[in-house]
Structures are given as C-alpha cells and as structure tokens.
Amino acid sequence: MTPKIGFIGLETMGKPMAVNIAKAGFDLTVHDLREQPCRELASLGAKVALSARQVAESSDIVEVVVVDDDQAERVVAGEQGLIHGARPGSIVAIHSTILPATVREIAVWCSAKGIEVTDAPVSGGQKGAEDRKLCYMVEGKRAAIWECPSPAPR
C-alpha cells in the first residue's frame, strides 16, 4: 500500500520537497502558516490542512521542515500539534536541522503515543531540493526508515 504523506513547512527547502512528492503522485496533505505555498501545492493536487494535527489525521508519514527547535516542538506537541492527530504506527520524519536533544525529546513524546520518529536533516539547499538531489542524514528505527518512500534505490 502506498503511504499517505503529510508535509509541514513550505519554505525554501520544504516547498520544493513537497512539490516533488506531489509530482510523484503521492496522496499528499500540506500545512504552512502562509497561504500562498499551500495554494501552489493544492494546484498540484495536494490537500491543504489548517493545522499540523489535521495533517497527521490524514497521513501515514508526516515530514517536518521548519526553521528551528521551537517550531519543531510546537508543530509536534503544540495545541494543534501533529501528536494529537497521528495514529499509532505513524512515522514523523524531521528534516529540520535541530538539536539532537530536541529530537530525542520529540521522540519520547511520540513514542508514548506509538508514533515513530526519524531524525533526517537534509543537505543540498533549495537547488538540491528542486532537483531531487538532497543528501539525507537519517537516524531512527530501521523499519520506520524503510517505510518512507524514496526515489532512490535501496
């Protein structure tokens, strides 16, 4: 079964990453605080959610690309955070470059709800994201990592 993908954070890196997911034909739900990138993704077939929680409610895997640790914590565990909508067995892939301690804290919160977390920051810049040539540095449970779709052979 093809997983349903959620994507939170449509800035410089996140938007082209989400565009590539949409163009690959995945069932995609997106959220960003800004309306314009959400409209652009909707024109490619993505559904737009009003909160991180709504993204998680309709996704098997939620990819998070936000600016800093504070935003990552709010997206995951804030009042409308994805932790409140994700089902047990869901995967949260954090692509933001944040402190390892923050990722560990998020993993503890998610684990209590049966949600897997992968720490997967990316390198390659906006051009790499647009060209699908990012380098992912991934840590997490092997089973969760292999569930995440990838255009690259494994």
Task: Report pLDDT digits (tens) over 85-123.
Answer: 999 999 999 999 999 999 999 999 999 999 999 998 898
Q: Which residues contact residue 76 at a Cβ distance below 8 angstroms, ignoring those fewer than 6 apart?
A: 52, 64, 82, 83, 92, 106, 109, 110
Q: What is the pLDDT of residue 152?
A: 40
User: What is the Cα–Cα distance from 76 to 56, expressed in whole angstroms?
Assistant: 10
Q: Which domains does the chain have, with CATH numbers?
A: 5-147 (3.40.50.720)
Stretch 29-41: mean pLDDT, rounded? 97
| DSSP one-letter string for 113-131 | TT-EEEE--EESHHHHHHT
User: Which pLDDT score, from 0 to 100, does residue 130 have?
Assistant: 87
pLDDT digits (tens, 9 = 90+) for 54-75: 999 999 999 999 999 999 999 9
Residue 136 DSSP SS3 = strand
Work out the pLDDT band at 136, boundaries 50, 70, 90.
confident
Around 52, how many Cα atoms within 13 Å sit in the side-chain half-sphere?
24
Dist CA 127 CA 91 (whole Å): 26
Report pLDDT digits (tens) over 45-56. 999 999 999 999
Say which amino acid occupies 15: K
Q: Are strands 135-136 and 61-64 parallel, antiparallel or unpaired?
A: unpaired
The β-bridge partners of 93 are: 63, 118
The residue with tokens 């390198």 is 123
Q: How far is CA 129 from the centre of its chain?
A: 14
Side-chain half-sphere exposure of 34, counting CA atoms within 13 A: 11
How confident is residue 145, by pLDDT bands cut at 50, 70 and 90? Answer: low
